[in-house]
Amino acid sequence: MDGEAEAGHVPVLLKEAIEFLAVRRGGTYIDATVGLGGHSYEIARRLGAAGHLIGLDKDAHALERARRRLQPSPDLEDWPRITLLQASFAEVGERVPASSADGLLADLGVSSLQLRDAARGFSFQAEGPLDMRMDARSELTADQVVNRFDEETLADVIYEFGEERRSRRIARAIVRSRPIHTTQHLAEVISAAARPMNRRPGRRPGEIHPATRTFQAIRIYVNRELEDLRALLQEAGAPRVLKPGGRLVIISFHSLEDRIVKDALRAGAQAGTCRLLTRKPLRAAEEEIAANPRSRSAKLRAAEKIGSAAGSRAG
């Protein structure tokens, strides 16, 4: 069993992402969120020895796992050059030469590796410290957000990045319950504050945990996820590093991300700098959702860069 299977991680919309990237032998492709290397492996095995795969990730632990997964086995002589960088995809324009890539993939959000590690503090399913940093070198932690932000600022974070309508009530409860240093303590405080009056404990079928949106909001804020996504989509990011005809594929997992991607790609299409490959977001099929529930919320959007070689792809 390989490392990917051991980690319980299954790449979302894998077949569709590879098809939209239109991976060709000898090309240069960027996996901007390499994670555990699931998408990267499928890209790499199509590239051949003349190809180049560049993988970026903020998380040093994920990069090390991906490095092991992407090592060529003795029977694989036709394996591409692999370059792995600990960096945010917001830095892709600084780390990769202009007009050098045939495709770029970004699978957004938190990985199964991060969620399953209680010590990272991403999930309320297990007791852990309030950390939530994808990059351990970052200074801001979830503990600082929860225990140091004033009530109004905390409520704004929960509302803006979690789209949580009960943000004021939750922020007030958090401030009154300080100090809060563990994921389960925070989840308990949120659950008590968010529970409707005259409602029995427990959730209805299909209802998300009351703490889900608040945890999402804090994680997004700590890791500057939306700022990084905007930077990736700006002219100095993905558009700069892609060749004319290069493909951009983004997989998002909530409406805040998808809205940013949709608006950026539509603006590019209107400006004549890219051609939309997906008019509407592509969703996972029922079979994939059954096998991998995480794929239920995934949305894939893709575009092709237009430039001096508009409408044509080399090779």
- What's the pLDDT tens digit per position in 198-213? 455 555 555 789 999 9
pTM of the model: 0.91
How many of the other CB atoms lie within 10 Å of CB of 287?
9
φ, ψ (nearest 5 deg) of residue 192:
-65, -40
Q: What is the CATH number of domain 3-113+226-305?
A: 3.40.50.150
Q: What's the token pair of residue 96?
A: 């990769």
Cβ neighbourhood burial of 206 (10 Å; 0-12, 13-18, 19+): exposed
Looking at the domain 115-224, which fold is it? DNA polymerase; domain 1 (1.10.150)
- pLDDT-derived band of residue 4, with 50, 70 and 90 as boundaries? very low
pLDDT at 5 over 50: no
Q: According to the model, what pLDDT value does residue 114 have?
A: 83
Residue 264: name the closest of 241, 230, 294 by CA: 230
Domains of the chain, by residue range, sit at 3-113+226-305, 115-224
Cβ neighbourhood burial of 290 (10 Å; 0-12, 13-18, 19+): exposed
Q: According to the model, what pLDDT value does residue 6 have?
A: 39
Mean pLDDT value across the chain: 91
pLDDT at 315 over 70: no
pLDDT digits 0-9 by tens, 233-249: 999 999 999 999 999 99
Give, in degrees to the nearest 5, the angle at Cα 106 between 102 and 110: 160
